Amino acid sequence: MMSNIPMTRPEEVLAVHQTNYFHSSTFVELIDQRILHAAGTTFSISDDRGLSWSKPFSCEDADGNSVGGSGTSLVKLSENGIGLAAIQKPSEGSSKTRRGSCIVFWRSEDSGETWESPVTVTPSGLNTYSYQDVLLRTSSGRIILPVYISLGQAAGLRDLKPPASGKLVNGHWVSTAAHFFDPHFSASYVCYSDDDGRTWQRNQDGELIILLDWSATYSYTNEPTVTEVEPGRLLMFMRNGLGRIFQAWSEDNGQTWTRPQPTSLASSTAPAQIRTLPTGHLLAVWNQESPEEIQRGYNRTRISSAISRNGGSVWEFFQNVESMHEETRIEPAPIQPVRPAEFHFDPGIPAPERQREHIMSVEFHGRWSYPSVFVMADRVLIAHTYSVYEEHPTRAELILSSRKEARFNQKLKVLPLNWFYGGKEPADNPFLPRANDPATP
């Protein structure tokens, strides 16, 4: 059901900022309790815990180069130290077939005032990427960075080029694509450092892919995010195209992982964030959508949050952070690929069969996704992309209005901790055993 209320209980929001950082935001708390924000190569600082922000500024490392890039992630190191990871793309003139994108890591010993030269986290050769805002420092001091590799041809022959999915908004065709027809295969793995980011290793048991059937059914994972549920016990969430968030567990601080398995959280093909709250409970923030909504081109039109008070088994208190829909909880469907029903190939390719009950024309459409989540003692900061399609005379102007000419393309919301508990004070659920409790008879 469509809704005119863009989020659950908006009157409880402490602050909303409209920015142009799109999906690069990441945060870290400095030693003096200020918050440092990074997005790409742009930084800003909040002195009042997210309610207001300084003017943007940039930083240079010891080599005179800009600190940051795409897929930025900040993390607290020991004492006054902070670290930043970002994707480094092949330099101009280099061959992408010889050297792909890799991850690099900068260290600062003085809360971001000065930065050392970066070190390489992942090897060159394969294209390696990371979702933004995913660096984790565990209770042991180990730094965890989940990453993913991308394999395969970017595009095939003309008759094998992927189609474009979308819908008509006020008579104009707009894209609702989200890599539903991406020809690449991707797999996740974890890099970790036990010396504050000076040197890096990777998990010992290979890349994480989804294996649903030993003889036939494999699926990709990418844009992983990790949290520490208990000391040394880590939980990873992974994006995929099967209608669920998939998860994997590590019992040895990130060195080995279980095979990815489905959660009970319905999802579009979009990344999620997983965090541990000061209460010890888990917070998930993700694009929650039903198969019917995705088929009608409504993917990435609901960012939800949910709480698990027993270590990731049962999820409660479903809320809408930003949404076009009234429903706050979607029951997941059977595990299978789901794509929008309306899609088109290039001119000259025969029109495909489509499910006409899911072909829709609408007067308004928006997209929001790629959440960044920063947890504090009494509040949570959530930044996410924000685009709307407004009516203009031509298709080109329609797309530009939502991408390049918009006044803002990101929202940053500051929410009190109890908002995520339905407005109630956080407390354990007495009916749910904790993950490490003995089984009840």
Comparing 46-50, 87-91, 221-225, 303-307, the range with the smallest average pLDDT is 87-91
Which pLDDT value is given to residue 5?
82
What contacts 323, CB < 8 A, 6 or more positions away? Answer: 3, 6, 7, 301, 302, 303, 304
The mean predicted confidence, pLDDT, of the chain is 91
Contact 69, 102 (CB under 8 A): no
pLDDT value at residue 213: 81
Q: What is the pLDDT of residue 157?
A: 60
Q: Which helix (H) or strand (E) holds 395?
A: helix 395-403
Q: Is the confidence at residue 181, as pLDDT, over 90?
A: no
Question: 1 or 417, which is more confident?
Answer: 417
CB 300, CB 367: distance < 8 Å = yes
The Cα 177–Cα 345 span in angstroms is: 13
pLDDT band at 53 (very low <50, low <70, confident <90, very high): very high
pLDDT of residue 144: 98
Contact 383, 410 (CB under 8 A): yes
Whole-number percent of the chain with pLDDT over 90: 76
Cα distance between residue 300 and residue 313, in whole Å: 24
Q: Report whether 24 contacts 40 (CB < 8 A).
A: yes
Rounded Cα distance between 284 and 249, Å, is 15
How far is residue 145's CA from residue 103's CA, in Å, rounded to a whole number?
10
pTM: predicted TM-score of the whole model, two decimal places: 0.94
Beta bridge partners of 276: 282
Q: What is the pLDDT of residue 347?
A: 84
The answer to whether 332 touches 314, Cβ cutoff 8 Å, is: no
pLDDT, tens digit (0-9, with 9 covering 90-100), for 228-237: 999 999 999 9
Across 277-315, the runs of DSSP E, i.e. the strands, are 282-287, 302-308
Question: Does the pLDDT at position 431 exceed 90?
Answer: yes
Place of tokens 């990453």: 147
pLDDT given for residue 208 in this prediction: 98
Q: Is the dihedral of CA 290, 26, 154, 388 positive or negative?
A: positive
Per-residue pLDDT, averaged over 101-130, amounts to: 95
| C-alpha–C-alpha distance, residues 30 and 9, integer Å | 31
Query: In the structure encoding, which two tokens stand for residue 172, read together?
Result: 């104009």
Give residue-wise pLDDT tens across range 318-366: 999 999 999 999 999 999 999 999 998 888 888 888 999 999 999 889 9
Examine the pLDDT at 399 and tell me if it is beyond 60.
no
pLDDT given at position 195: 98
- The DSSP secondary-structure symbol of 429 reads -
Q: Angle at the Cα of 207 (from 204 to 208), degrees rounded to 5?
A: 115
- Confidence at residue 163, expressed as pLDDT on a 0 to 100 scale: 87
Distance CA 127, CA 361 (A): 38
| pLDDT-derived band at 405, boundaries 50, 70, 90 | low
| pLDDT of 97 higher than 90 | no
What is the rounded average pLDDT of the residues 380-409? 72
Q: What's the confidence (pLDDT) of residue 307?
A: 98
**Is residue 250's pLDDT more than 90?**
yes
Q: Per the structure block, which two tokens stand in for 6?
A: 């863009």
Predicted pLDDT at 393: 54
Write out the H or E segment, with its range, that includes residue 84: strand 82-88
